[in-house]
Structure 1
């Protein structure tokens, strides 16, 4: 065996996990059905914020550790695709957040003049905002620099990876539904629209975790990402024109200039959701180690580095 570890899955969870392992001296190969630019991660809006993910206590710790790393990467935005950007979370107050909020520098209640019409409460924060195509490219380069490799592989079983390395880290996201198999893994479909930026430089989010419709406005170097939807157990990847119109209309109530912004792209992604993230290890009958790191729903970007560190630690105990 030429590899110490096979990481199954080439999205943001798999790549960050592989980087932590490779930079600790492991011989790592990522096996992924899709190239990074075609994974769900590439479609993500890219805002750091714990969203639709459990368990609460662990998520807070993973998020805080990830925040610290992303804040460092934001010092080199052209290289890493990470920027620190000011923004507003409408519809929630400090009491709605977990203990992790105390670790977020500059987080404060929004003043009345900082909220759109119809919002009576909200928060202001400066958080990482990732240009995901650019960031995934950075992760691939960093993995290569650490000696890791990426291979295009379509697996029908995790046993195929175990035949190539003594340790396997399962970061297969939605694919875990079949590969584990884990029927608890299911898609939460998200649709978004990318438009030309009419001059917006802050992010805005209003998301009820129980609602299938959300509002987010995320300024990126390539345009403004408008969202969105959160449709449980919907597998379709084709954008719905009627849904796109509603997304633009909701966002235009916050920034009226968006109503006439030229549409650049429509995107749909499937968040790999689960009742709670599965991050743990199991020893197989043949003595090989399997570490699971999947089920991050809509917060993979937010928790990726914290989860990667914990997954790598589990491998290190082997």
Structure 2
């Protein structure tokens, strides 16, 4: 089982391809679009298990990914930074199980947040999506992974046209259609607007905002402001009214954003599912593995679930490396 085909070139697919190649397999990635053109390119990409259940496997994958991203943050070329911020809540029954995956958290002091709100401060990895996805693709290619552009209608269709020994389906929302898993998978529409950064460095999330999901994520040159979590919506158009509502909420939460120019705007469909699916799938003429349903936590679970897939597939025997491989190993160790 030395040749592995990964369907999907978003953050999860690329991470899986990287770890499979690292484990000694000859890997090819097949996708109908580049990572930067997928929902991975739209994401605010702050580490947090959003829109997924907080099961033991999910939190373990989140913790693995936290550690890996923290290592990568030592190299500015990766586009990963460790940034402090606040997870805000307006409910008494909020799920804080995610804190087990973070090295240190502390409650926000009284009087800092709006009346009736509480918060947890922590430092987490923040990913500059454009920079990181390009870096990840290059690091994956440096391990000998090859890339092909193609689209398929089902897993069976992929297998008929592919001569690999193993197939890994990590194509985000598209994975459900390939497996015929639409009854438990669904889109979660997200819309963001990116503003010029007036000098902000700390992020804040407010999932319980009465006006809707709200977050402010400052990056190097902009601030990603969101958002929406429209379950079941396939609409990828930018809605001006939704954008206006987002801007009202974020400027109320962070007044420094008032009057900042809009740099760009985007929508994306997060791959929602009743539960994250990382498992072997029976019924095919060769080993097939699923790795999808990550909701709004693709970046948060990427390295952990990639490691789980690599462990399921097992070791290979190919040890070819490309330019920059030794350097990557030194930086990641």
Which TM-score bucket, shorter chain as reference? over 0.9
Q: Map 1:197-276 to 2 at 5 A.
A: 197-208=197-208, 213-276=212-275
Counterpart Cα distance in 1 of 2:38 and 2:281: 26
Partner of 2:79: 81
Q: Secondary structure at the match of 2:258?
A: helix
* Contact residue 20 and residue 308 of structure 1 kept, 8 A: yes
* Contact residue 60 and residue 98 of structure 1 kept, 8 A: no
* Contact residue 55 and residue 276 of structure 1 kept, 8 A: no
List alignment gaps of at least 5 residues for structure 1. Answer: none
Deviation, structure 1 residue 186: 1.0
* Contact residue 60 and residue 101 of structure 2 kept, 8 A: no
Deviation, structure 1 residue 193: 0.4
Partner of 1:182: 181
TM-score, with structure 1 as normaliser: 0.93
Moved >6 Å (runs of 4+): 92-95
* Contact residue 49 and residue 98 of structure 2 kept, 8 A: no
Partner of 2:31: 32
Counterpart Cα distance in 2 of 1:55 and 1:83: 24
Distance 1:309 1:226, change over 3 A: same
Question: What is the count of residue pairs matched by the alignment?
Answer: 313
Q: Secondary structure at the match of 2:275?
A: coil
Q: Which moved more, 1:224-233 or 1:178-187?
A: 178-187
The equivalent position to 1:108 in structure 2, one of 106, 109, 133, is: 106
RMSD: 2.1
Distance 1:285 1:293, change over 3 A: closer
List alignment gaps of at least 5 residues for structure 2. Answer: 317-333
Counterpart Cα distance in 2 of 1:126 and 1:172: 29
TM-score, with structure 2 as normaliser: 0.89
Deviation, structure 1 residue 26: 0.6
Counterpart Cα distance in 2 of 1:37 and 1:186: 21
Counterpart Cα distance in 1 of 2:123 and 2:275: 27
* Contact residue 212 and residue 230 of structure 1 kept, 8 A: no
* Contact residue 3 and residue 26 of structure 2 kept, 8 A: yes
* Contact residue 61 and residue 100 of structure 1 kept, 8 A: no
